[in-house]
Structure 1
Amino acid sequence: MAELNLKQINARLNEEFRGEKRKLVFWYDDKAEFAEDIKDIELDNAKVYFLQPDNQFYTKYFLERKDKENNYLIYAPFPKPDVRENHLEDTLLYSKRFFADRASLLMADLGVDEKYKNIIEKHIKFFANKDRTQRFYDLEIEQFNEENIIVGMLGSICRTQTCSFEEVVRAVLSDGECEENKFIDAFKKYDLHSEFWKLCERHFGYIDNTPSLTNFVLTLFVTYTAKSITGELPESLKSMVSHKSGNIITFMDNLKNSVLYKDRYNELSEFVSNELNIVKVFENLLPEELLYCDTFVCIDKIIIRWIKERLLAEDTGAMLDNHSIKEVVSIRSKMHFSESTGKIYHMLGSAYDIVVSAKYTCPDSFSDILEKYKTSDYKIDQNYRHFYYDYDGLDDSEDFEGLRELVENIYANEYLDKLLQKWNSGILEENAYGKLPLQIDFYDSNIGGLKDRTVVIISDALRYEVGHELYTTLADDPKSNIRIDTSLSVLPSYTRLGMAALLPHKSITMSDDYTVLVDGMSCDNLLTRQNILQRYCDNGICVQFDDIKNMKKSELRDVFTGKQLVYVYHNQIDARGDKANTEDEVFVACKEAVNEIADLIRRISSNANTHHFIVTADHGFIYKRDKLNESDKINVRDKNAFVNRRFIVSYEAIYEDGIENVSMGRILRNEDGKVVSFPISSNVFKVSGGGQNFVHGGSSPQEMLIPVLNIKMERGHIDTGNAQIALVSMVQKITSNVTVLEFIQSEAVSDTVKATTYKLYFISDDNEKISNEATLFADSRELDARKRIFRMNFRFKDKKYDKNRNYYLAAYDEGSGEEIWRHHVVMDLVGESF
């Protein structure tokens, strides 16, 4: 019982016991409504005596013989016995009776109109529990009517925070199985079961002679599905469609998009899918009819299967509802089940780009090959990497094995074979090394003469396309001013020679035992490299990334203070790729490398007063998933040669099919008489140990073209803002239950304009949500404004709308929950308004 009722009763009882004369007051509580509350009664001038049905004789003795001085309230949690059975009847003649009408007390406390007393009396059992009644009070219902009283009781049972039937339904749906539901059982216990189903009919149009939670859930999901399928609903589902679709769509949108309830939505979706055998029911629907429906995850499976089949047929021009495969991937990857299907869609998007490259053509001139690789061909390597990154992350990839084989075949045979053949013809041209900056000139070209402190991050095996991903990542940082260039590595493109080329030097030589020397000094570890660096820069140091990655702010400052040049050696990609047991993790390592380097740059910039960075690599790599055949391995006969999978250094050139040679003296700009021999394809030399899929050292653009990122981080605060959206369709009046509106993303996403997700829906002037909730991803980088226009569908609740009230279309930032703007509309639905 509510505290206020107790105060009323206390006041009335204390009034009864006023005066000097001894008084006995009997309270027969017929329905034991106050049995729990009586212990909280506080009487100023009387004691409480608890009467039991079997202690009447003792009570009479106690009151009339044992204690004749004190006042007593005699409380009996049962009806007054008949006169012939009541041994206290004569005591009652000189005593008083107290009557407490719980229904009246409740109504007085709450301000409920007398006309609703029958509802309170009918469910008086509900109010017999103090905690349950208090929860009813805590709902703070402002305006009582029959529905609000019922919903309040239902909400108290479900422990909702507001008097909302939608909240009640959400609570009910969130509790366990449909057939054994504690809230439904509680509704039955307190005689609210039929009222609950009447409200389900009133709000959601669910009509059933024998209502059940299972059938109700089926109605919700089928109705929700019917409005997002563009074709005709299968016959077996039509009888389950409610006439109150607007209310259901709004409710289901909220359930699906709620952080609190989305997991339960997924569970119910799977339950309904199994109950109705949705996979079979939808087997005759066309994929384009399901494009915008995300009620069941099996719909994604249907669309994923369609995309896979189109790709396997190399039908890259296939479309769904005038959307290309790439656009379908984008649409579906942003829908509800993207947490479980997003990786598959991303994989399919990468596969699509690879399949498109099946018609790959390579330019003839070396200059054109270089330019095409820097502007577009690198994306083929990047898409290949992304494909396997997602493919390897699938729980079960068996269904996509055929697609993987196609991707592998196109990448290896249509792309690499064509590119490498012409590339290697070009790299041997006399003037090839003058077509772009050379790695061997790195220090003089990028560092010599710099006055501000500079950090050079050398990431082992960070090939050009991975470096370009780092460029894209940092370009979105508003504090970053970044440029990406390309340089041509030394050949052979392996770590010791590449690391030497990046150091300041007058000469680089390779001794007779194939040791690499810089100015005659060894350079194969951190200390020897630092010794060389300090000959050219007194305040230069070399550090390992792993030694500083977890340093605190003060520790970082200690490392950088007083230093002019810092070489940071990062080894994520090569460390895993070069080992047979981890080489297939190399694409995961690439992702981690990008994140680690970007994070390090931000940390150093913020904490160590350093703002100039250069990121580059010692070499790149080639990775192919399929194991090489023995026929792809080239036997080596010179036992005195320096043999690697992708190169041989020896004193004699190797003249065999598929092998080319270049003078080491040409590479190192000296008189070295040794020769570098390398395959002109992606084949390898036959050597023992190591892996087979990850290789470097050869002459491919994937191995030799390395990124040079020049980054300057701005000091202090940089103003950034979210991508803004505006309504294109300036609608003033809503005249249909379904409305399609157009929105525009005002600016393209950039380093100062951040991608933002918005929630859009219509509300009334008292903030009731009256439409479904649409999600707009303002993440477009398109510079053409016409390509930043989005169409959104809105369906309204089935209810009466007052043309004289205010209604709005409201936009909310999903991240912050902040309302961005609202647009006033008049609701003028034909046949619905009043």
Structure 2
Amino acid sequence: MLIQWLKEIVKENLKSGLFVWYDPLSSFEDVVDKVIPKDAKLLKFEGSYLVLRFKLEDEDPEFEKKWVVYIPDEPGEFLKDWELMGSKEVLSLPDLLMAKGAGMDRELKKALEVNSRVLVKNWRILIGRKEPDREQIINALLAIAFELTKWDEDEAVIKFLSQTEKFASRLGEMKLTASWLRKMEEIIDVGEEDLQKIREKLVLSLLFGEIVYKGDQPAESFASLPKTREKVTTILERWRNDERYKEYYIEAVREISEKVKIKDHIVFNESLLNLETFPEIDEVILQELLSSTTPENYEKKVEKIREIAKKRIGTFWERNGFIYYWKPIKIAAELFIGCKKALEYDGQSRMIEKYVNEWWILDKLALELTSYKIEGIENLVKPAITTYERYLDKINRKFADAVIKEGWVQNHTSFWEYVKGAEKPVAVLFVDALRFDLAKMIVENVRGVENAEINWLYGVLPSITEVGMAALLPNSQIEIKKDNPLKVEISGESVSTKIERRSYLNRRGIEVIDFETASIPKKEILTVMVRDIDRLGEISDIAPNNLIDIADKISGFISRLRDAGFRTVIIGSDHGFLYLISQPNKVTCKGDFVARRFALGAKLEGCIIFKAAETGISGDLLLAFPVGTAVFAIQGETPHFVHGGLSLQEAVIPVVSLKLSVPKEKVGIKIESPRDKLTTIVAVVKLKPVFKRFDAEPRRVCVEINGKRSEYMTVTTEKVETVRLRWLEPDEKPPEEVELKVIDESGEVIGRREFKVSLLF
């Protein structure tokens, strides 16, 4: 519309053949060339009237052509003869808008005197083709002040709240302070012109307003509320969820929390469950759950507890690392519910079927749960831990009863059939102590797989490395003999130790490497020995996270095998394990050799007793196993990690078959943010994919800062991924600077940057 107006004015003035156009505010300097008719010529003043005259009079001394002479300045005496010869007009944007009835007043005129050129330059974007009124012009000017491509009042408010000093200065320079105050008056009672104080009042009103309006809290408990509820939640949600302004929101909340004891003003109700305003809201909800939950009523409340925790996971303060407890509370609830349902089943085959398809999740949940700090939330977590321990004991007592009735059938010799039938080259991973849940994690995490299957085998008893690893060897009809404590043979050849098993494979033309090896030879069949899980289990204070990390490392190693040209990976294990959270029941046992979960040459009432031959292996040894989660009493404290016995977790062994795809280019990673410093203990890291081809393969990576690692995530060509990592505990002293690393699942560091540390909260 603006261009059309100007075209009409120019056309009318050109009837005389010469149009002298003065624009004192330079309003139209950037668009004047767009309004000149094709049959006319434009001559712009560029600092010298003499040069202007020479240009026109040299080219057209008789003034036979049509000319528009544009002068971005006040009228002077230099072109009086041209003005008399043709037509003259003094026209800047305020003059044009006044002529078009746009509601010009003193305030708007002052603003346009400063901003008319920039407004005209952005007219098409900010106003478009419509005829603007005064309000639309003010909004367009404010959009320029707040660096917006279109007027968005909510974002303008957010920018004002986040960077008050900067935008207060811009508003003053652009003569728009009064216009902005009127906008603020629609939300709060302004009462003054100090923009910093207005900002403080606005923050308080919006935060309290969300608590009252969305959280259904009594209005009389909060001193300052906005005039309307319409904008409150939309502004706050955008403010805290926009990565550009999130840190300013956190700082604003911190300022209010230092002045007002928020918890004293909040009353628990269901509406709070959807509220994210203050971290104290989570504390109020948690306190309500803690005060109303006891070990006796936990079962009745567990579904509601899970529902509440599920709602709170992903809310602002939780996902940014300020609230830690909702995930363990949710995991605990799911673990409790799952354990209760599992105890309904009987029969060996039925229990194994349920374990390999469903119950393994309970072990995973328990492992995850014990990796969290539960101090302060014991009422909401310990019932699940107690129930899991009861489940472990009861289900494995049932399992023991079923085995006594039905026997323990061996099928370990079928493991090598998976290897024989695999597409070559094939890598065979002998993973010590790979429980079913860890095998599932490996399959879930590994990339570049065309097909994945998890089957199972009956583990060889006792479920220890010497016996189980020997059973995985080709032609492995094993025999066990007592020899400090056991000797394992295949056709008279000892395979009790790792060195002996390696030699056994080498003599059959199968190369063996260790998991930690730097280089991977390409062979038709390559065996890889992975003992990390069992070796870690020997540490008395093993952390559950360490076990989960090893599963991630194995996934990364499989990616290396794929890059090395292997087409198939077969994973087998010697045994699983029990992870005992509390000290188990101890049973006194005498025999030729007594370990925690098995004994040789012992006869003990209440235990499972087998002759070796009854378990499908050669030898006349007598094997004894405690039932459930009990252990034989031997010197020393029982570690969390135990194996050797007869339980679903120890003796049902996963066999993983992975058909690998042919490697392609992998996406690269560019660290997009943070930009220059870390301001919170939870870093928000944006990882941008870099690639030459759109079919580049996804890459699994984690982020490491200050020795803390995120979970692995998959970066594809499709979008920028966001990683949130708590890199510093609240009670830790922050360093002056830290290094951020992006680490591929193979262990390669593929990106790094250093950041200064300047914590806001």
What's 1:174 paired with?
A: 162
Residues 572 and 349 from structure 1, CA distance in 2 versus in 1: closer, same or farther, beyond 3 angstroms?
farther
- Which structure 2 residues correspond to residues 566-715 of structure 1 after superposition, within 5 A? 566-581=526-541, 583=542, 585=543, 587-605=544-562, 607-627=563-583, 632-634=585-587, 641-649=592-600, 653-656=601-604, 658-667=606-615, 669-670=617-618, 672-687=619-634, 692-713=639-660
Question: Which letter maps to 1:433?
Answer: W
Q: Which of these residues, 343, 348, 352, is aligned with residue 329 of structure 2?
A: 348
Contact 1:489 1:705 in 2 (8 A): yes
Contact 1:307 1:348 in 2 (8 A): no
Please identify, of 518-527 and 400-409, the stretch whose mean Cα deviation from structure 2 is larger: 518-527
Contact 1:661 1:675 in 2 (8 A): yes
Does residue 240 in structure 1 map to residue 240 in structure 2?
no
- Which structure 2 residues correspond to residues 179-198 of structure 1 after superposition, within 5 A? 181-184=165-168, 187=171, 192-198=176-182
**What is the rounded CA distance, in whole Å, between the counterparts of 1:579 and 1:182 in structure 2?**
56
Q: Which of these residues, 388, 400, 411, is aligned with residue 424 of structure 1?
A: 400
**What is the rounded CA distance, in whole Å, between the counterparts of 1:692 and 1:517 in structure 2?**
30
Question: Which letter maps to 1:593?
Answer: I
Return the offset for 1:697. Answer: 1.3
Q: Which runs of 5+ in 1 are unaligned?
A: 21-102, 718-753, 755-812, 818-834
Does residue 213 in structure 1 map to residue 164 in structure 2?
no
What's 1:411 paired with?
A: 388
User: What TM-score, normalized to structure 1?
Assistant: 0.61
Contact 2:502 2:512 in 1 (8 A): yes
Residues 598 and 197 from structure 1, CA distance in 2 versus in 1: closer, same or farther, beyond 3 angstroms?
same
SS at match of 1:547: coil
Does residue 295 in structure 1 map to residue 268 in structure 2?
no
Return the offset for 1:487. Answer: 1.7
Question: Which letter maps to 1:492?
Answer: P
Return the offset for 1:350. Answer: 1.9
SS at match of 2:429: strand
What's 1:730 paired with?
A: none
Return the offset for 1:704. Answer: 1.1
Identity of aligned residues (%): 21
**What is the rounded CA distance, in whole Å, between the counterparts of 2:606 and 2:422 in structure 1?**
44
What's 2:704 paired with?
A: none
- Which structure 2 residues correspond to residues 311-350 of structure 1 after superposition, within 5 A? 312-318=295-301, 324-339=304-319, 340=321, 344-350=325-331
SS at match of 2:430: strand
Residues 404 and 199 from structure 1, CA distance in 2 versus in 1: closer, same or farther, beyond 3 angstroms?
closer
**What is the rounded CA distance, in whole Å, between the counterparts of 2:304 and 2:31 in structure 1?**
71
**What is the rounded CA distance, in whole Å, between the counterparts of 2:342 and 2:53 in structure 1?**
107
Return the offset for 1:696. Answer: 1.2
What's 1:371 paired with?
A: 353
What's 1:399 paired with?
A: 376
Return the offset for 1:256. Answer: 3.1
What's 1:541 paired with?
A: 511
Residues 333 and 189 from structure 1, CA distance in 2 versus in 1: closer, same or farther, beyond 3 angstroms?
same
Contact 2:329 2:380 in 1 (8 A): no
**What is the rounded CA distance, in whole Å, between the counterparts of 1:159 and 1:526 in structure 2?**
68
Contact 2:583 2:638 in 1 (8 A): no
Return the offset for 1:602. Answer: 4.4
User: What TM-score, normalized to structure 2?
Assistant: 0.66
What's 1:455 paired with?
A: 427
SS at match of 1:710: strand
Q: Which of these residues, 558, 565, 581, is aligned with residue 525 of structure 2?
A: 565
Question: Which letter maps to 2:227?
Answer: S
**What is the rounded CA distance, in whole Å, between the counterparts of 1:659 and 1:403 in structure 2?**
35
Contact 2:506 2:512 in 1 (8 A): no
**What is the rounded CA distance, in whole Å, between the counterparts of 1:490 and 1:298 in structure 2?**
54
SS at match of 2:402: helix
Contact 1:421 1:681 in 2 (8 A): yes
**What is the rounded CA distance, in whole Å, between the counterparts of 2:435 and 2:367 in structure 1?**
12
Residues 445 and 5 from structure 1, CA distance in 2 versus in 1: closer, same or farther, beyond 3 angstroms?
closer
Deviations 1:217-265 (A, max 9, x none): 2332344445534x4654334961432x334443333323322223333
Contact 2:413 2:477 in 1 (8 A): no
**What is the rounded CA distance, in whole Å, between the counterparts of 2:581 and 2:572 in structure 1?**
26
Contact 1:663 1:673 in 2 (8 A): yes
Deviations 1:528-579 (A, max 9, x none): 434322444x3x322222225xx6xxxx5xx22xx22222223342232211
Question: Which letter maps to 1:698?
Answer: G
Residues 187 and 676 from structure 1, CA distance in 2 versus in 1: closer, same or farther, beyond 3 angstroms?
same
Return the offset for 1:190. Answer: 6.7
Residues 201 and 480 from structure 1, CA distance in 2 versus in 1: closer, same or farther, beyond 3 angstroms?
farther
Residues 115 and 371 from structure 1, CA distance in 2 versus in 1: closer, same or farther, beyond 3 angstroms?
closer
Return the offset for 1:459. Answer: 2.3
Residues 463 and 18 from structure 1, CA distance in 2 versus in 1: closer, same or farther, beyond 3 angstroms?
closer
Return the offset for 1:620. Answer: 0.9
What's 2:49 paired with?
A: 15
Contact 2:423 2:568 in 1 (8 A): no
**What is the rounded CA distance, in whole Å, between the counterparts of 2:421 and 2:606 in structure 1?**
44
Residues 488 and 519 from structure 1, CA distance in 2 versus in 1: closer, same or farther, beyond 3 angstroms?
same
What's 2:453 paired with?
A: 483
SS at match of 2:452: strand
What's 2:236 paired with?
A: 252
Deviations 1:743-766 (A, max 9, x none): xxxxxxxxxxx9xxxxxxxxxxxx
Residues 6 and 471 from structure 1, CA distance in 2 versus in 1: closer, same or farther, beyond 3 angstroms?
closer
What's 1:58 paired with?
A: none
Residues 506 and 214 from structure 1, CA distance in 2 versus in 1: closer, same or farther, beyond 3 angstroms?
closer
Q: Which of these residues, 483, 487, 499, is aligned with residue 469 of structure 2?
A: 499
Return the offset for 1:463. Answer: 0.9
What's 2:214 paired with?
A: 228
Return the offset for 1:267. Answer: 3.4
| Aligned length in residues | 591
Question: Which letter maps to 1:405?
Answer: K
**What is the rounded CA distance, in whole Å, between the counterparts of 2:245 and 2:285 in structure 1?**
26
Return the offset for 1:313. Answer: 4.3
Return the offset for 1:198. Answer: 0.6
Does residue 387 in structure 1 map to residue 395 in structure 2?
no
SS at match of 1:208: coil
What's 1:822 paired with?
A: none
Residues 200 and 458 from structure 1, CA distance in 2 versus in 1: closer, same or farther, beyond 3 angstroms?
farther
Deviations 1:277-300 (A, max 9, x none): 4322222x32x2223223333333
Q: Which runs of 5+ in 2 are unaligned?
A: 1-24, 33-42, 55-89, 665-697, 699-717, 723-761
Residues 12 and 110 from structure 1, CA distance in 2 versus in 1: closer, same or farther, beyond 3 angstroms?
farther
Contact 1:408 1:626 in 2 (8 A): no
Contact 2:589 2:604 in 1 (8 A): no
Question: Which letter maps to 2:361?
Answer: K
Q: Which of these residues, 494, 498, 503, is aligned with residue 531 of structure 1?
A: 503
SS at match of 2:225: coil
Return the offset for 1:501. Answer: 1.0
**Alignment RMSD (CA, Å):** 4.5
**What is the rounded CA distance, in whole Å, between the counterparts of 1:191 and 1:138 in structure 2?**
18
